[in-house]
Structure 1
Amino acid sequence: MKTFLVGGAVRDRLLGLEPGDRDWVVVGETQASMEAAGFKPVGWDFPVFLHPDSGEEYALARTERKSGRGYRGFVVDADPSVTLEQDLSRRDFTINAIAQEADGGLVDPFGGARDIEARVLRHVGDAFVEDPLRVLRAARFMARFATLGFRVADETMALMGTMVESGELAELVPERVWQELRRAIASERPSAFLRTLHDCGALAVVLPEVDALYGVPQRAEYHPEVDTGVHVELVCDMAAKLAPGDDLIGFAALTHDLGKALTPDDVLPKHIGHEQAGVAPLRKLCERLKIPTGHRQLAEIACREHLNVHRFDELRASTAVKLIERCDGFRKPERIGQLATVCEADKRGRAGLQDQPYPQADALRAAHAAARAVRAVDLPAGLEGPAIGEAMRKARIVAVAAATGKKL
């Protein structure tokens, strides 16, 4: 059986990164011969098998032919006559179209190793246009590899722009868009994802609420970067730094300022009430992409409350407790720390201000801890019904005032 290690494991080894899951291609076999050798079939759209001992995935070498619109419109051919080179030719980028033989030698018909050396993300061939999801994959790879110095090849960016103009990105189902977005905002450089999509026109298709922020001015004394789209890029990168790999924090950071796209021109560059205005477009985005409930809830809290957290030092203890209550911070205490992190990313995600301290985050956490320390057993005896809740609220306000020095 002729097997070859392919894809990300080969690419990451050449990049000096820790490889993830290993995928294998098998040449010259059939489904029957694979099953006879003890491999367990698991593929629905094309023949993929699990190794009987390692559990790793082995796929028969295959070709794909476009048969309809969207990323699902393909006819797969996994005939034993399909060669390794033909299998590699159907892959998206040259850096992913490298195979490794058993002795460690490389099969690299499209110059992927050379592009890894040059730090270039380049499409393999003309078949790239047949799968609109590859536009998002290009952007997501940039979110992961931009810190290594990667750029998208000019001809690939041009091709992606053509794909956007064809209208095929509209065929992408929400779950696939969210899958790529989720991985991108959990990467080291989410801004590269946004910038790549924006530059080829795809952001306006998949995330129009975010794309609308580009070119919207902000007050330079608070936002030296001025452009709101650039600000969101910086916020997402700061969120990735403060909470590495956390797509929950990343999504809230991405969507916290959507209301600024709705500010009337005669009000700019001020954005009065943008935190409330942003809730409607956020909900629309979440419905369209079927965003998970936990992500929606934190994003809406961050959108609505981030200015209140920024001015947390000015709040009375009673107002601080109300803020925590609005966030459901007593039933779901993790939310307050998450909100603090998103707000810190917002404040430090500004040109030249990335190293500024953000004491509001610790102040919010301290107030929350003081309020949570109040227990029902500490309340006066004999209280019933609503009186218990009111007494609890008053005790929490007193506790926050004592812990933070705030006025009641």
Structure 2
Amino acid sequence: MDIFSVGGAVRDELLGLPVKDRDYVVVGSTPEAMVALGYRPVGKDFPVFLHPQTHEEYALARTERKTGKGYKGFQVHASPDVTLEQDLARRDLTINAIAKDSAGKLIDPYHGMADIQAKQLRHVSAAFSEDPVRILRAARFAARFTEFSVADETMQLMRQMVADGEVDALVPERVWQELAKGLMESRPSRMFDVLRSCGALQRILPELDRLFGVPQTAKYHPEVDTGIHIMLVIDYAASQGFSLPVRFAALTHDLGKGTTPADMLPRHIGHEERSVSLLKEVVQRLRVPNDCKELAQVVAKFHGKVHQVNEMRPDTVLRFLLETDAIRQPQRFRDFLSACEADARGRTSFEQQELPHFQYLLEVLKIVMQVDAGVIAAAQENPANIKDAVFDARVAAIKQQLEPLKL
């Protein structure tokens, strides 16, 4: 049998990037032969094995035949007579269809090296259109390799796939998986640009798609277009290395602006409540994990209020912390402020805006958490008074320690 390194490891080496994981294709072998050599079978849909020492993945060379809509509608054929070129032909992009043999020789039947030089994301063959996940992957690679562009013929093929309804067959888990990976790339806005260009965004995330072209007040949003604002926000979140929950919250915090009545524009009164309502539909449809869902809901509801802190009395600031559950979940509140930071600085000419009220909120939270609620509760003869007594003690602590320093 012959073993070749394939896919991302070969691509990243050629790009001068660090290699995280290596995948291998085995040509001329059988499952029985692999097991006899000590490899452990792990593949459910096709023959994949773990190396007995390194635990890296080795897959038997295979071909695929489309049998139905969606990414699961395939019949896989793996046998010793499948060639390396046939295996590489089923891959998505040419830059991912380069192999390297044990001697270090590169095998590049689909000109992936030329596309690396040209900084092009190009499909290997017409078989690209058989798997709608490849649209999401191409968009995600655009977010990772920020100097690469999607080849015209590939973009046209992706548009045809959307028109043919292939995207509608995607299962929520795969959509979320790819969106989450794309949000964690260096410039996530490029993923959504590609999805918009081919029409896929309107199918998988219409609540986001409809934000493009919706105007905002130029005084506060010089970029005006709400969709452009969201792209600036998520790119800022990426530039700061914020977590996935923060980036997802940044992506979805303004969904309600897409349903603002035309006669109200460019103002968006009450958009927070509408954003929360639309967000509930999104997280349910895409089966978004709880940590992302819960933070996004808090950010959607309260991101406007955070900028009013300077006008709040101590008791109002405390109520805000209680509303956002900051005392019980202080780390989530810090993540909330990170998303609000991205929102504030994800605006043209506001990129370096000072945000002293954010630090003030964190100082208030620190003082409030130092108040011993247990001691106060124990001192109350009537249990019904505990809640008010704790609240009053927290307000008093804010007044004593922080109110004189309020900006």
Interval containing the TM-score (normalised by the shorter chain): over 0.9
What is the distance in 1 between the residues matched to 2:74 and 2:248?
32
Q: Offset of 1:310 from its aligned partner?
A: 1.7
Percentage identity across paired residues of the two chains: 51
TM-score, normalisation: structure 2: 0.97
2:158 corresponds to? 160
Q: Deviation per CA, 1:258-315, whole angstroms, max 9, x where unpaired?
A: 0101110001000111111111110000111111122111101000100111222222
SS state at 1:32 partner: helix
Aligned to 1:216: 214
List aligned pairs for 1:291-370, cutoff 5 A: 291-370=288-367
Query: What corresponds to 1:200 in structure 2?
Result: 198
Aligned-partner residue type, residue 167 of structure 2: L
1:171 pairs, out of 166, 169, 172, with 169
Once residues 138 and 18 of structure 2 are traced to their aligned partners in structure 1, the CA distance between those partners, rounded to angstroms, is 21
List, as ranges, runs of 4+ consecutive aligned residues in structure 1 with deviation greater than 4 Å: none
How far apart are residue 393 of structure 1 and its match? 1.3
CA contact (8 A) 2:377 2:386 kept: no
Distance 1:127 1:56 in 2: 27
With 169-178 and 305-314 compared, the bigger mean Cα shift is at: 305-314
Instruction: Report if the CA contact (8 A) 1:258-1:281 is conserved.
Output: yes
Task: Structure 1: state its 5+ residue gaps.
Answer: none
One-letter amino acid of the structure 2 residue matched with residue 310 of structure 1: H
Q: 1:13: Cα distance to partner?
A: 1.0
Aligned residue in 1 for 2:268: 271
Aligned partners of 1:104, 1:174: CA distance in 2, in Å? 40
> Which residue type is aligned with residue 350 of structure 2?
L
User: SS at the partner of 1:156?
Assistant: helix
Instruction: Quote how far apart the aligned CAs of 1:324 are.
Output: 1.1
Query: Aligned partners of 1:380, 1:71: CA distance in 2, in Å?
Result: 58
Letter of the structure 2 residue corresponding to residue 26 of structure 1: V
Residues 1:372 and 2:375 are matched in the alignment = no
1:131-170 mapped onto 2 (5 Å cutoff): 131-146=131-146, 149-170=147-168
8 Å CA contact 1:329, 1:335 repeated in 2? yes
- Give, as a single letter, the amino acid of the residue that structure 2 aligns with 1:219: T
Please give the alpha-carbon distance, in whole angstroms, between the structure 1 residues aligned to 2:91 and 2:3.
17
How far apart are 1:89 and its partner, in Å? Answer: 0.5
Which secondary structure does the structure 2 equivalent of 1:243 belong to?
Answer: coil
Cα distance between partner residues in 2 of 1:265 and 1:212: 13
Cα distance in 2 between the residues matched to 1:345 and 1:46: 43
1:5-404 residue pairs with structure 2 within 5 A? 5-146=5-146, 149-244=147-242, 246-376=243-373, 379=376, 382-383=379-380, 384-404=382-402
Q: TM-score, normalised by structure 1?
A: 0.96
Contact 1:336 1:368 in 2 (8 A): no
| 1:45-83 deviation line (CA, Å, top 9, x unaligned) | 000000011100000000001011110001111111000
Please give the alpha-carbon distance, in whole angstroms, between the structure 1 residues aligned to 2:401 and 2:249: 29
Structure 2 counterpart of 1:203, one-letter code = L
CA–CA distance in structure 1, aligned partners of residues 298 and 206 of structure 2? 21
Q: What letter corresponds to residue 117 of structure 1 in structure 2? A: Q
* Amino acid of the structure 2 residue aligned with 1:190: P
Distance 2:235 2:168 in 1: 27
- Give the secondary-structure state (helix, strand or coil) at the position aligned to 1:75: strand
Kept in 1, the 8 Å contact 2:377–2:390? The answer is: no
**CA separation of 1:262/1:363 partners in 2, compared to 1, >3 Å: closer, same or farther?**
same
Q: 1:386 deviation in Å?
A: 3.4
Report SS of the residue matched to 1:311. Answer: helix
Q: Distance in 1 between matches of 2:100 and 2:345?
A: 44
Unaligned runs of 5+ in 2: none
CA RMSD in angstroms, aligned pairs only: 1.4
1:389 deviates by: 2.2
Question: 2: CA distance between counterparts of 1:81 and 1:15?
Answer: 32
Question: CA offsets per residue over residues 86-119 of structure 1, 9 Å max, x none?
Answer: 1001000001001111122211111111211221
Deviation at 1:157, TM superposition (A): 0.9
2 CA distance for matches of 1:396 and 1:185?
A: 38
Q: For the residues of structure 2 that align with 1:329 and 1:132, how far apart are their CA atoms?
A: 41
| Structure 1 counterpart of 2:333, one-letter code | I
Q: Partners in 2 of 1:91 and 1:130 — Cα distance?
A: 11
What is the identity, as a one-letter code, of the residue corresponding to 1:70?
G
Aligned-pair CA distance for 1:379: 2.9
Amino acid at match of 2:313: R
Q: CA deviation at 1:137?
A: 0.8
